[in-house]
């Protein structure tokens, strides 16, 4: 029985790329009725076993075990999340970036932070004494995240991003209008994904990506160009799980005086002590407190 990879799901059809096939070769398949009975849904990124049918199409018979599974966007077997945040138009939003990182940590994916639109920065923005781009890069690299500064205009960082995607199923996500489709078009000339101008009044772009689809790279990688998000909620995450999604809190939390320390008010809290010593970034801790409150407010509403 042949195996393949679901690269697109649309209107009840699954587009399967057969194992070892040429770039762009896909077979349009339907899923077996048994999936519905079992409450299973084949996802983009699934490795599947399928049966070709006489009309040149096929039937997905079996979903092979998944390494990871994301709910939003619905995609299986992604291991790397590329989080794209623009330095300008819209301005860099660190609170939203930290929110994305929480969700990525909870999902068990690796994260690569991609700071886009470097070409829009003026000379004043790049002043040596207080270069905000360098400060943000240093902050997240010290926590342990990879950070690449890019420009689709000059090509800065494009090759580096491309090399990180080799052999991976990667998810491209971030705030709307930050240049996800533009960067993919730059890495893959001829792709021509739809892009949109930024509404300066709203400070965000229109959503231009309407379904999840894997884009095949020539280095063995696949990229899921996913719908942009202007906000995320915490419905899939428990309050007690939040601190473990802040990478720099994990090791410190083991030495807190109280097990299950919330890092908000308890005595002997190693996270707050590290904050006072400047070893935990104040912005990260402020966002942690903010997210705690958001989660509590949501819990009360539901």
What CATH number should be reported for the domain holding residue 12?
2.40.50.140
294 occurs within a structural domain: yes
53 occurs within a structural domain: yes
70 occurs within a structural domain: no
Q: Is 56 annotated as a binding residue?
A: no
Q: Is 175 annotated as a binding residue?
A: yes
Residue that is last in its domain, among 17, 34, 65 = 65
pLDDT (tens place) for every residue of the chain, 302 residues total: 899 999 999 988 999 999 999 888 999 999 998 898 888 999 999 999 999 998 989 999 999 999 988 877 789 999 999 999 988 888 889 999 999 999 899 888 999 999 988 888 766 565 555 678 899 999 999 999 999 999 888 889 999 999 999 999 998 887 777 777 778 777 776 565 554 433 333 333 444 445 778 988 888 899 986 654 444 667 678 888 999 999 999 989 999 999 989 999 999 999 999 999 999 999 999 999 999 998 888 766 65
82 occurs within a structural domain: yes
Q: Is 118 annotated as a binding residue?
A: yes
Q: Is 292 annotated as a binding residue?
A: no
193 occurs within a structural domain: yes
Residue that is last in its domain, among 170, 190, 225 = 225
Query: Do 49 and 115 fall into the same domain?
Result: no
274 occurs within a structural domain: yes
Query: Do 187 and 121 fall into the same domain?
Result: yes
244 φ/ψ angles, rounded to the nearest 5 degrees:
-70, -15
Query: Do 80 and 138 fall into the same domain?
Result: yes
CATH number at residue 158: 3.40.50.300
Give the structural domain span for 45: 3-65
Query: Do 82 and 221 fall into the same domain?
Result: yes
Q: Are 180 and 86 in contact (CB under 8 A)?
A: no
Q: Is 176 annotated as a binding residue?
A: yes
233 occurs within a structural domain: no
Query: Do 57 and 8 fall into the same domain?
Result: yes
- H/E stretch holding 83: strand 80-86
d(CA 4, CA 26): 9
At which residue do the structure tokens 């801790």 appear? 285
Q: Is 269 annotated as a binding residue?
A: yes
Q: 251-265 burial string, b = 16+ CB within 10 Å, else e? A: ebbeebeeeebbbee
Encoded tokens for 16: 């399967």
Q: Is 256 annotated as a binding residue?
A: yes
CA 239 to mean position of chain CA atoms:
21
pTM of the model: 0.83
Query: Do 220 and 81 fall into the same domain?
Result: yes
Q: Are 159 and 186 in contact (CB under 8 A)?
A: no
At which residue do the structure tokens 């990871």 appear? 68
Q: Is 177 annotated as a binding residue?
A: yes
* Number of domains observed in the structure of the chain: 3
170 φ/ψ angles, rounded to the nearest 5 degrees:
-115, 150
SS3 of residue 243 by DSSP: helix
d(CA 175, CA 61): 36
Query: Do 58 and 113 fall into the same domain?
Result: no
232 occurs within a structural domain: no
Residue that is last in its domain, among 225, 260, 288 = 225
Exposure of 105 by Cβ count < 10 A (0-12 exposed, 13-18 middle, 19+ buried)? buried
What number of H helices and E strands is found in the chain?
8, 15
Query: Do 215 and 269 fall into the same domain?
Result: no
Instruction: Name the β-bridge partners of 137.
Output: none
Query: Do 144 and 216 fall into the same domain?
Result: yes
């Amino acid at each position: 029985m042949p195996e393949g990879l679901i690269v697109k799901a649309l209107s009840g059809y699954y587009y399967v790329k057969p194992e070892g096939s040429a770039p762009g070769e896909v077979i349009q398949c339907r899923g077996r009725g048994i999936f519905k009975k079992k409450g299973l849904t084949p996802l983009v990124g699934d490795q599947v076993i399928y049966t070709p049918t006489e009309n040149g199409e096929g039937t997905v018979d079996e979903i092979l075990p998944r390494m990871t599974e994301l709910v939003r966007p619905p995609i299986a077997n992604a291991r790397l999340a590329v989080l794209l945040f623009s330095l300008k138009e819209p301005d860099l939003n660190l609170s939203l970036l930290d929110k994305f990182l929480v969700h990525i940590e909870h999902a068990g994916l690796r994260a690569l932070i991609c700071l886009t639109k470097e070409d829009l920065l003026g000379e004043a923005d790049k002043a040596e004494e207080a270069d905000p781009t360098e400060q943000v890069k240093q902050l997240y690299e010290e926590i342990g995240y990879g950070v690449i500064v890019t420009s689709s205009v000059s090509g800065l960082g494009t090759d580096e991003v491309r090399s990180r995607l080799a052999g991976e199923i990667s998810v491209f996500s971030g705030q709307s209008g930050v240049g996800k489709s533009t960067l993919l078009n730059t890495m893959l000339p001829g792709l021509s994904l739809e892009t949109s101008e930024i509404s300066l009044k709203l400070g965000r772009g229109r959503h231009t990506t309407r379904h999840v689809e894997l884009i095949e790279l020539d280095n063995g990688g696949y990229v899921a160009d996913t719908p942009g998000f202007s906000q995320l909620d915490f419905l899939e995450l428990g309050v007690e799980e939040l601190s473990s999604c802040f990478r720099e809190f994990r090791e410190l939390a083991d030495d807190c005086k109280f097990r299950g320390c919330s890092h908000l008010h308890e005595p002997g809290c190693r996270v707050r002590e590290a904050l006072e010593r400047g070893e935990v970034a104040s912005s990260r801790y402020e966002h942690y407190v903010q997210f705690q409150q958001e989660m509590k407010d949501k819990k009360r509403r539901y």
